Amino acid sequence: MKVIGLSGSIVGTKTRVTVEKVLDNITDLNKEIEVELLDMKDYQLEFCDGRFYKDYTGDTRTVIEKITEADALIIGTPVFQASIPGALKNLFDLLPVDAIMNKTIGIVSTAGSSHHHLVVEHQLKPILSYLKGMVLPQYVFVEERFFNEKKEIIDGEILFRLRKLAEDVIDISKRMGKVTSSG
């Protein structure tokens, strides 16, 4: 099985750190599972204009394929203007309609304050449901204050919940028949 951790931020580092934490936990729980971080900052994507997805080239094509080929996803989003970033939405726009069908999806979100906890519930989840992903109901929302100056997560409760998210992603993927005895 392969899990892609998608960090949907092109500016800060907190979203990436949070996604990486979940990936580390997955590796720690089951060494056979392959994990890969896909940081949107590392890719220059084109804007979706309705073209057939195979007509995109370069980074855009690479990212679409990585997501399509994954068995499960950890999606990390920062909050921009009370929703997900346009760059992340553009990536969803680019995906073929069945790209994440039946894939277990765990969500983490980072934000400056607690006010936007519901952004995932109201803005991100509907899109992932439309794309037919098996979205875990519980997500982890990490406020700025849970990081130290070195951008490490220091809150015990948050660390516990990120580990739980990793366990749940593995567990649900197993039930979906995605985890074999060799991982």
Ligand X SMILES: Cc1cc2nc3c(=O)[nH]c(=O)nc-3n(C[C@H](O)[C@H](O)[C@H](O)COP(=O)(O)O)c2cc1C
| Segment interacting with other proteins, rule: CB under 8 A, options 27-35, 38-46, 106-114, 151-159 | 38-46
Q: What residues numbered 75-94 form the site for ligand X, per CB under 6 A?
A: 93
CA dist 55 and 119 (Å) reads: 32
Which CA distances in Å does 38 have to 42, 145, 156, 176? Answer: 8, 25, 26, 23
What is the total count of residues that contact other proteins (CB under 8 A)? 30
What separation in angstroms does the CA of 52 have from each of 64, 96, 101, 102, 138? 12, 8, 18, 22, 33
* Touching other proteins, residues 61-100 (CB under 8 A): 80-93, 95
The alpha carbon of residue 60 and the mean position of all alpha carbons in its chain are separated, in whole angstroms, by 17
Cβ 30 to other proteins shortest distance, Å: 31
- Minimum distance between the CB of residue 4 and ligand X, rounded to whole angstroms? 21
Judged by CB under 6 A, the number of residues near ligand X is 3
Q: Is 50 an interacting residue with respect to ligand X (CB under 6 A)?
A: yes
Q: CB under 5 to 8 A by kind: which of other proteins, ligand X, none does 47 bind?
A: other proteins
Provide the sign of the torsion angle of the four alpha carbons 122, 68, 9, 164, taken in this order. Answer: positive
Task: Identify the residue among 2, 27, 37, 48 touching ligand X (CB under 6 A).
Answer: 48
Instruction: Name residue, tokens 């900052």.
Output: 41
Q: What is the nearest approach in angstroms of other proteins to the Cβ of residue 60?
A: 11
Binding residues for ligand X (CB under 6 A): 48, 50, 93
